[in-house]
Structure 1
């Protein structure tokens, strides 16, 4: 065989190897593994052997009147538990509130979960509550992508909940309960780079890591840390920048981007096992005093207000709180976190 005849198949093999290596994300750098980040947080061992790192806030667990598990948002970690860290400590003490926040799988010091689903995360939350001895029922709260995770708790572990609050929960444009014209219109209002990134996360999740890390064209604006901001969010930006300079920011993606923020996108905008708009009231016995709350800013540039309004219109058992002039980060405005906590605990 001539050298020219050998060139084409060799070139194809080399090209295939390059494509494969480019698309394949690097393995995570597990906490506690040789050469990996150190383990500094308390962790529990879950049912499948994974470690889940957590942090405790507020009054001591044994003295608490109210116990809450908080789920952080996209690109965040256990240190950022808004309802605890942004509510004055004297208010937390007055209300007798204990908050347990945790690193979602792959974030911070929690082991990755390659099999993660909305259900598995809800079961992680239930198991954390059991291991910490939070009792038969506890509250759950989540912000942004963490707020989206609360839908899984309402679906899979409602019997364990004393109440729930979704704070600016991220919406999946592909939930089947949305009218096509409404979701299409809201989707078209997103930046073009985000439209493409979300389309990849939903239809071709195996391309998600490559899409958001290649240098040829713009990735997701949220992935790149440059989302479009509302007026209020821009006013809060100095406070946010100061917080993001805290030393723990390095922990968020220390095990790798794929099993943290990429996995979040793949789950959040992928194909769900259920449609939140088909959920039944998890607390039909009103005398038990349990309730579900959803807070949303009407100028949120990341979560379309039109879709959030449609969701709560389909689920009349949700107590909806719409904040005029508020952006996505409204819980960080003065007094907002306190209002959210008080409403969760006492507005029945």
Structure 2
């Protein structure tokens, strides 16, 4: 997500150490059939301690990885310096029904059914997304209908690069990676963002929430509502941005500067 040039600049100027890890079931990370929203925060805290990252660190969660950031805000806020969190689930209990319905209705009918199955019948998720009787998740099926104009431009640019290499992120199977993420994200959470208090009341850190206003994969409605209800969040709405907006020219620079330098 961060361009090589700016990454090098940040390292040299601010002494930044960036760690990316495979969530359970991805890459070479062991699957966790008992994975929960809370367990992600515990995994992150343990990893930070094992690597000696210090008492406080930054966390960035993109797309489905946003569940881990909300989890960190809830369970280990004392360890955090600042965050980025875009993901949503349609069963957060404190959201008004009209907000949830507006966001849910922006999804296609087939994706609405995928989400319902993940929430109400998680044991059917693998079957639903591998059988041919009903349409599977648009995202898992790589359906371009869920991509915005910007998303299509970005994916076309990435795939046309000569140095573009496909990484075997689901080599342990889609159920313990993609499907498990879907089950956990759309399952029963112990909290929702509206339960959270400002972990940085002393102004020694900030919570940033970024979202593209043309994102068709994660509707913007709920994150707009979160920003309205939690004024301590620094909300950045990217005009014309799709789901892959962090990969657009200049965006990774803007995100990193906001996190590390405090630029709005």
**TM-score band, normalised by shorter chain:** over 0.9
SS in 2 for 1:319: strand
SS in 2 for 1:207: helix
CA distance in 1, matches of 2:36, 2:60: 18
**Aligned-residue offset at 1:89:** 3.6
Q: Residues 312, 226 of structure 1: CA spacing in aligned structure 2 closer, same or farther, 3 A cutoff?
A: same
Are positions 1:110 and 2:29 aligned together?
Answer: yes
- The answer to which structure, 1 or 2, has the higher relative contact order (CA under 8 A, 6+ apart) is 2
1:98 counterpart (17, 20, 28): 17
Give 5+ residue unaligned stretches, structure 2.
none
Counterpart position of 2:206: 291
Counterpart position of 1:88: 6
Counterpart position of 1:230: 148
Counterpart position of 2:49: 130
- Where is the strand percentage greater, Structure 1 or Structure 2? 1
Q: Residues 291, 87 of structure 1: CA spacing in aligned structure 2 closer, same or farther, 3 A cutoff?
A: farther
Give 5+ residue unaligned stretches, structure 1.
1-81
Q: Residues 231, 146 of structure 1: CA spacing in aligned structure 2 closer, same or farther, 3 A cutoff?
A: same
CA distance in 1, matches of 2:162, 2:130: 21
**Aligned-residue offset at 1:248:** 4.5
What does residue range 57-206 of structure 1 map to in structure 2 within 5 Å?
82=1, 84=2, 88-93=6-11, 94-166=13-85, 169-206=86-123
Are positions 1:275 and 2:210 aligned together?
Answer: no
Q: Residues 147, 86 of structure 1: CA spacing in aligned structure 2 closer, same or farther, 3 A cutoff?
A: farther
**Aligned-residue offset at 1:247:** 4.0
**Aligned-residue offset at 1:245:** 8.1
Give yes or no for contact 2:158–2:164 (8 Å, CA) kept in 1. no
Q: Normalising by structure 1, report the TM-score.
A: 0.72
Give yes or no for contact 1:106–1:112 (8 Å, CA) kept in 2. yes
**Aligned-residue offset at 1:239:** 2.4
**Aligned-residue offset at 1:242:** 4.2
**Aligned-residue offset at 1:244:** 11
Number of matched residues? 261
Q: For the pair shown, which has the larger CA radius of gyration, 1 or 2? A: 1
Give yes or no for contact 2:37–2:67 (8 Å, CA) kept in 1. no
Q: Normalising by structure 2, report the TM-score.
A: 0.93
Over the aligned positions, Cα root-mean-square deviation in angstroms equals 1.8
CA distance in 1, matches of 2:233, 2:4: 24
Q: Residues 283, 192 of structure 1: CA spacing in aligned structure 2 closer, same or farther, 3 A cutoff?
A: same
Q: Residues 87, 320 of structure 1: CA spacing in aligned structure 2 closer, same or farther, 3 A cutoff?
A: farther
Counterpart position of 1:344: 259
Give yes or no for contact 2:110–2:135 (8 Å, CA) kept in 1. yes
Counterpart position of 2:129: 212
Deviations 1:304-328 (A, max 9, x none): 1221110111111111111111111
Give yes or no for contact 2:90–2:186 (8 Å, CA) kept in 1. yes
